[in-house]
Amino acid sequence: MNKGTLKKVFRYIGRYWFFLLCSIVCAAVTVTLTLYIPVLTGDAIDCILEPGKVDFTTITEILKKMAFVITGTAISQWVMGVCNNRIAYYVVRDIRKDAFERLQILPLKYLDAHPYGEIVSRVIADVDQFSDGLIMGFTQLFTGIITIFGTLIFMFRENVGITLVVVCITPVSLFVASFIARRTYKMFKLQSETRGEQTAFIDEMIGNQKVVQAFGYEEKAMKRFDAINDKLGEYSLKAIFFSSITNPSTRFVNSLVYTGVCITGALSVIKGGISVGTLTCFLSYANQYTKPFNEISGVFTEFQNALACAARIFALIEEEPQVPEPEDVKVLGEAEGYVELTDVAFSYVPDRKLIEDLNLKVEDGKRVAIVGPTGCGKTTIINLLMRFYDVDAGSISVDGTDIRNITRESLRENYGMVLQETWLKAGTVRENIIMGKPDATEEEMIAAAKAAHSHSFIKRLPNGYDTVLSEDGEGLSQGQKQLLCITRVMLCLPPMLILDEATSSIDTRTEIRIQKAFAKMMEGRTSFIIAHRLSTIVDADIILVMKDGHIIEQGNHKELLAKGGFYSELYNSQFALSE
């Protein structure tokens, strides 16, 4: 039913063929030895007939043999367990690794379109479930299959008639198991999907508790949560119950097999065909032969679940990555900073046009300011310049080379970017600052921090530069976070800069100082600035006024004011109330 997924799972397992081989050999040894015990027990019982008719010499021999076999079984069982653990955990590790590596090359289009919680749930919860299924699967699948064949061989050697009884009834158990498994697969899939939905919801609500609480949304959130939760409960109940019918049903089939062996065996003992010892041996075989069917079907349902999870992970791993770099790709060295946009068109959703026919030439070292009402496509330009998204038509070039022919790494290395949404990595302040220049010296780092005016507040943190920041830099104010982001760029100083409302959360007093630092930083560097404080862009060489994806005005501050268009309206409005 899921051959593709299964094949991929096996590809992962194949890397550990040595452990797999070990495991199979040990399984074979374990099973053979385990199967030998009933034979020995049967032999021993045949030596114990009735008072005075007990063959103690033979019994001693048999029991010695048994002790030896038991020790051997135990050892090979342990080795098998260790091997199986390794296979399962290594495979899981490899899958997580691949999934994570894939995340690094997936286009932002994919990542922006999928809730983080859902992706995280795939990498963590799904892989976990898969690993549980896998471990159970391996320990039991091997021993199970080998036990079935081993028992058959042993049984045929002892008595053909009784064996045929066993062989005929047992398939019923398989039939029952696969019948149930087919029904439950869908349920497990639904369960897994609903779980993803729930994770995404929790991520959203718990992650933004402040807003939730400020709006007294707790109860509504609870209601929405309960709706998903109850749905999950319903699917889980079905999935768990139906899959758990498998065990009792197959066990019932076993008891039929057992009874079958009992009646044919007993009758054949009466006829004198076999001894009581052989019957004992057969009875325990009947148990052993059917147990693996039990387990295999149990494993089967578990496997179903694991496969449903695996399918979701593989879907992520196989997701189309960003456009690969062409073979003749160039590495952009220290760029001059001549940027040209030619007939650029772009939209996030195919039927909703955003940017069309955008043309722009920026000579190296020029300062470009982009202004315009919110939602006019300013942030989108950054996405395109940084090649987070590729243009739909037209081209963008740096120093005359189309950026699609430049390695992403070298292109991005040439940009220093400070975004509106500040993001810090969990780790120390130092690690965050030296992100762009890991080999920076202490002096360089402090100099950059001073230049960005973050040094003084960092010093006041409990452990200074070694203060550990939690996820999302909780505990720092928005402004402090932004200062750290600026420091990060200040340290590596690439030839081109992108500042997206970079100073929106910093007070103007600090901003003035940063502006000075920026001004120094921007000297001779091509810069793109998106800011709403018009005072900060008055000095720009080119001001682009955007509206609805088009550049409607272009020029420097004086020219635009003189023109008396949209820009001058925008500019003058800031003084409206004070006049």
Partner 1 sequence: MKRLLGFLKDYKKETILAPLFKMLEASFELLIPLVVKRIVDIGIENKDRGYVGQMCLVMITLGIIGLVCAITAQYYSAKAAVGFATKLRHSLFGHMQKLSFAQMDKMGTSTMITRMTSDVNQVQNGVNMVLRLFLRSPFIVLGAMVMAFTIDVQAALIFVVVIPLLSIVVFGIMLITIPLYKKVQTGLDKVLGITRGNLTGVRVLRAFHKEEEEIEEFNAANEGLTSMQLFVGRISAVMNPVTYVIVNGATVALLWTGAVKVDGGVLTQGAVMALVNYMSQILVELVKLANLIITVNKALACANRIGDVLEMEPGLKVADREENRAAEGSTAETQSANAEETQTEVTSDIPVVEFSHVSLTYPEAGAESLTDIDFKAMRGQTIGIIGGTGSGKSSLINMIPRFYEATEGCVKVDGVPVAEYNLQDLRKKIGVVPQKAVLFKGTIRENLLMGKGDTKPAEEMTAEEKAAEDALLRRALEISQSAEFVDNKPEGLETQVSQGGKNLSGGQKQRLTIARALVKEPEILILDDSASALDYATDLKLRRAIHAMEKAPVVFIVSQRASSILHADRIIVLDDGEVAGMGKHDELLVNCEVYQEIYYSQYPDKRKEAQA
Q: Within positions 320 to 339, which residues make up the interface with partner 1, using CB under 8 A?
A: none
Which residues between 19 and 38 bind partner 1 (CB under 8 A)? 37
Q: Give the range of 17-25, 167-175, 182-190, 234-242 binding partner 1 by CB under 8 A.
A: 234-242
Q: Give the range of 161-169, 182-190, 282-290, 361-369 binding partner 1 by CB under 8 A.
A: 282-290
Which residues between 550 and 579 bind partner 1 (CB under 8 A)? 569-571, 573-578
> CB of residue 483 vs partner 1: minimum separation in angstroms?
7
Which residues between 32 and 71 bind partner 1 (CB under 8 A)? 37, 41, 44-45, 47-52, 54, 56, 59, 63, 66-67, 70-71
What is the distance between the alpha carbons of residues 533 and 454, in angstroms, rounded to a whole number? 21
> CB of residue 509 vs partner 1: minimum separation in angstroms?
5
> Binding partner 1 by CB under 8 A: which of 11, 18, 112, 361?
112
Which residues between 85 and 104 bind partner 1 (CB under 8 A)? 85-86, 89-90, 92-93, 96-97, 100-101, 103-104
Which residues between 140 and 169 bind partner 1 (CB under 8 A)? none
Do 77 and 30 touch, CB atoms closer than 8 A?
yes
What is the distance between the alpha carbons of residues 114 and 565, in angstroms, rounded to a whole number? 40
What is the distance between the alpha carbons of residues 314 and 319, in angstroms, rounded to a whole number? 8
Judged by CB under 8 A, does residue 527 bind partner 1?
A: no
* Whole-number Cα distances in Å, 186 to 148, 193, 236, 238, 503: 29, 11, 11, 10, 51
Q: Give the range of 182-190, 202-210, 361-369, 521-529 binding partner 1 by CB under 8 A.
A: 202-210
Which residues between 213 and 232 bind partner 1 (CB under 8 A)? 213-222, 225-226, 229-230, 232
Q: Give the range of 283-291, 331-339, 355-363, 397-405 binding partner 1 by CB under 8 A.
A: 283-291
* Whole-number Cα distances in Å, 305 to 128, 136, 302: 11, 12, 5
Site string (487-506) toward partner 1, x via CB under 8 A: -x------------x--xxx
Range list of H helices, 106-217: 108-113, 116-121, 127-158, 160-169, 171-207, 209-214
Classify strands 415-418 and 427-428 as parallel, antiparallel or unpaired: unpaired
DSSP letter at 503 equals T
Which residues between 114 and 143 bind partner 1 (CB under 8 A)? 115-117, 119-121, 123-125, 128-129
Helix (H) or strand (E) holding 401: strand 401-402
* Whole-number Cα distances in Å, 403 to 190, 242, 294, 329, 479: 43, 56, 60, 9, 33
> CB of residue 409 vs partner 1: minimum separation in angstroms?
4
Q: Which of 198, 208, 258 is nearest to 229 (CA)?
A: 198
> Is 289 buried (19+), middle (13-18) or exposed (0-12) by CB count in 10 A?
buried
Q: Which residue number, 204 or 342, has a Cβ lying nearer to partner 1?
A: 204
